[in-house]
Structure 1
Amino acid sequence: MTAQQHQARHTPLRLQVRRASGLDRNPLCRPVDRTRSRMALALPLVLALLVAVGAVVAVLVFRVETQAEQRTASHRHAVTATTVGPAVTDDSRAGGTRAHAPARWVYPVGPGNGAVQVSLGTPVGSTVAIHLDDSGLPAAGARTTGAVLSDAALLGTGTAVGLVSLALTGHAVHAHSLDRRAERSWEPDWERVEPGWSQRR
């Protein structure tokens, strides 16, 4: 880290505000220094805004998904099925615990039968709670509020993290560019300011 970089990163807030607003009349304060101060003051505000965007995304996703699950729930009907055959694993790997079994059930449109999800080892004749759609066929039930909330929070957090990462990367690249520009212009700027600074003629 150069002396200029160290000084820029440890400039008091009051001086950062004066520089950013153009009120710092110090002849050694260059345009690049004012730009640095504006960046330093803007970064926390930008990051806070991006975090807020992530929160808004989470809220919107939660509302949309909740409405979708409510529509799904209105077309799902909980019934009790009875298994009529052994459970067969759904996982080809040894030790799989997910399975399905043939089962029968009764629904207002008439009796039904088919494969239902069960735990491996479920004996024949066991009762299993399932959901049917309006036509009486097995269907996935609506997700719980907790599941919807978890998905919304995950998406909102991912959005915020992604935006903040992009902002920090852009800030770092811009800051590095300013540092290089400041180093290149330091000697010419000093030659312009030094005679008046030192009263040398």
Structure 2
Amino acid sequence: MAATVRTGRWLWHWRHNDLRRPSDRAEGWILLAALALAVTGGAASGALAAGVVVDSAEQQQSARREVTATVTEAASRASPDDTGFGDDRVRTAIRWRDDGGRVHHSDTKVPPNTEKGTEVPLWIDRDGRPATAPPSTGELLGGAAATGGLTALGVAGGVMLTERGARYALDRRRIRQWEREWEVVGPYWRRKAL
């Protein structure tokens, strides 16, 4: 019995009722359209956003490659990186050769007390400049899922807020209609009551 009552509450906009106004019917259609748009629009926008994140990460992965660099200065504990984010690696000078045999020099972070001559991995971009490592598969999937989920929730939330705004506007319109009708009917009822 409770399921029937609950279903009746959700479907009251479409059931036959002599007191139902056109604005009640409009409210029902607005709610139905908002729910459909929130679900389909949220899912589509979430999938699109996740796809953009995956495409961007795949471009980063294809634009970067890992090479082996050689430490040219011993890394001591005396020169910690000043980022303040708890990274205990230190910055030191390195060199590496590109495919054409040219030697490049730069600096990178390495573990403390790394000896001169130690080989370390280095990611470079297409132009041969040092770059950050591309995201791992786990980071890629996590970022895509988070971006897609948040985008879907944002779109669905925006649609439902718009639906609430439309219902608020309908409520204001109904109140104004009731006030106008009461101005006509109210004096007649007051006279009868006296």
TM-score normalized with structure 1 length: 0.67
Q: State the aligned residue count.
A: 174
CA contact (8 A) 1:51 1:164 kept: yes
Match 1:163 to one of 148, 155, 170? 155
- Show the counterpart of 1:33: 24
CA contact (8 A) 1:103 1:114 kept: yes
- Show the counterpart of 1:183: 175
Match 2:68 to one of 55, 60, 79? 79
Residue ranges of structure 2 left out of the alignment (5+ in a row): 1-5, 186-194
Rounded Cα–Cα distance in structure 1 between residues aligned with 2:88 and 2:45 = 37
TM-score normalized with structure 2 length: 0.69
Rounded Cα–Cα distance in structure 2 between residues aligned with 1:59 and 1:155 = 6
Q: Which moved more, 1:153-162 or 1:87-96?
A: 87-96
Does the alignment pair 1:145 with 2:145?
Answer: no
**Paired-residue identity, %:** 25
Q: Which has the higher contact order (CA 8 A, sep 6+)?
A: 2
- Show the counterpart of 2:166: 174
Aligned CA-pair RMSD? 3.3
Match 2:59 to one of 68, 72, 85? 68
User: What secondary structure does 1:89 align onto?
Assistant: coil
- Show the counterpart of 2:191: none
Rounded Cα–Cα distance in structure 2 between residues aligned with 1:138 and 1:122 = 22
1:11 CA displacement: 5.3
Listed as ranges, the matches of 1:1-201 within 5 Å are 12-16=9-13, 18-19=14-15, 24=16, 26-73=17-64, 76-87=65-76, 88-91=79-82, 93=84, 97-105=88-96, 109-119=101-111, 121-125=112-116, 126-133=118-125, 137-186=129-178, 188=181
Write out per-residue CA displacement over residues 38-58 of structure 1, whole angstroms, 9 at most, x where no aligned residue.
Answer: 123223212102321232223
Rounded Cα–Cα distance in structure 1 between residues aligned with 2:27 and 2:72 = 71
> Relative to structure 1, is the Cα distance of residues 14 and 176 closer, same or farther in structure 2, using a 3 angstrom cutoff?
closer
User: What secondary structure does 1:183 align onto?
Assistant: helix
